[in-house]
Structure 1
């Protein structure tokens, strides 16, 4: 996974990453070919691929999994949670009763 994808999620952002690029590379398939096999537009696949999607329908997920011959779990990962800053933790410790 690329380091930009593994970056910590900003507060309030979803942490789910879709790994279509990795699987496409493993399968030797292009996004255009995936679009043709699934009937999903390149624009919609691109939004998912670039982690701009906020939701995915099970029918869309099923079509992608069938075309790529993978289980759904292979397509997803979680970004780490953002940790509290060290400064914040120290100041909290100083102010404890």
Structure 2
């Protein structure tokens, strides 16, 4: 899939653990872990908004488009 999730990079830059971020934004560790690893089909704007507020970043810092090599 050409959409890459850089959530782990932003979390490392902000020194925030998975559990800490999940607690702050009100989602389960499992769901945040799936999002972090890119194993989800979509993300709610509400969740993306909460992540961006907590990590003080833009959606483009978390999501990246890379074209396939086709």
Same fold by TM-score greater than 0.5: yes
Greater relative contact order (CA < 8 Å, ≥ 6 in sequence):
2
Cα RMSD (Å): 1.1
In structure 2, stretches of 5+ residues that fail to align are: none
SS at match of 2:27: coil
What count of residue pairs does the alignment treat as equivalent? 70
1:32 aligns with 2:19: yes
Shift of the alpha carbon at 1:36?
1.0
In structure 1, stretches of 5+ residues that fail to align are: 1-13, 84-97
Compute the TM-score of the two structures, normalised by the length of structure 2.
0.91
Aligned to 2:6: 19
Larger CA Rg, structure 1 vs 2: 1
CA deviation string 1:31-82 (max 9, x = no partner): 1110111001111111111110101110011011111111111101123312
Compute the TM-score of the two structures, normalised by the length of structure 1.
0.67
Provide runs of 4+ in structure 1 moved above 4 Å: none
Aligned to 2:69: 82
